[in-house]
Amino acid sequence: MSIVLVTGGSGFIGSHCILQLLAASHRVRTTVRSLDREEHVRAMLKVGGADPGDRLSFFAADLMKDEGWKEAVTGCEYVLHVASPLPAAVPKNEDELIVPARDGALRVLRAARDANVTRVVMTSSFAAIGYGQWPQQRPFDERNWTNLKRGGVTPYVKSKTIAENEAWNFMGRERGGLELAVVNPVVVFGPVLGADYSTSVLLVQRLMDGALPGCPKFMFGVVDVRDVADLHIRAMTNPAAKGERFLAVSGDFMWLRDVAKVLKSRLGERARRVPTLQLPNFMVRLAALRDPAVKQIIPELGKKKNATSEHARKLLGWEPRSREDAIVATAESLVQLGLLKGSR
């Protein structure tokens, strides 16, 4: 089987990509900013049911530095470029997100091209598709691009849009024999493998802990991390994925209040702290003063959106889990790993 590099193997999506690649008998390499993270990554994979031994190797590489990337990609057939900054709080300077996302993507693409890698699959986001635009009746799809010229676009949204756009520009200018496919997930839920989980999981963690007095009027799409990893691998191996974007979403978008109701109905007493009251916008803004994670959703309050994954379903045969199963799997993993108040 192939040798595959996964950048950012300590992350939520990256670790699940590694699990599925190992299950498919690939040999896997992964990059981490420090080799001290190897033990942490192996511990997460063990929670996920894998003990890869020497089928998994680690390379130190930083999105902001050239060192390490040549060594990491040499000999690989494919690269899954998953690594990108996703903070819980809005940074003081947007370049803290934009520069590593953009420059890191270009470093990976150049290194992959020079090493004769067949294809890079890059993790972008719905952030590069459905923001900074007027409301529209039809669901967003891969033809849409976020408009950075309109107000209310957060630094994270800018970073993902700019990074993906620069990646496609690179492919148009100097790709050589390299191929590119891009995966654009919505909010990624699913089973966490350790305490260092994705910022997106904070939504469920905050609800389960009762950290919010109610639910902000915030609508978003849901997809399970295991299905996002599966879509990466389909985009890696299917010839039809060359040069394509794939929006990853499971069903229609949901209000956060509907997520809370799923937790209540499926988890019973374990979800006793979950609020189901709609939180007025002025109270959300007050909460944002104390909770940086809440601040990030302020520009989206009350906005209705939808998106479709029809392209991935038709072209790659992708069939994601239900939104409800993804939500419940997130909460159950937080309980099982003792990552909620009173669950230890």
- What would the two tokens of residue 88 be? 């819980």
Contact 127, 68 (CB under 8 A): no
Contact 153, 299 (CB under 8 A): yes
The span from the CA of 176 to the CA of 243, in Å, is 14
The torsion region of residue 51 among left (phi > 0), alpha (psi -120 to 50) and beta comes to beta
Out of 46, 70, 149, 160, pick the active-site residue.
Answer: 160
For this structure, is 295 an active site residue? no
- Map residue 222 onto helix, strand or coil: strand
- DSSP letters for 272-304: TT---SEEPHHHHHHHHHH-HHHHTTGGGTT--
Pairing between β-strand 179-185 and β-strand 245-248 as defined by DSSP bridges: parallel
Any idea which residues carry the catalytic annotation? 160
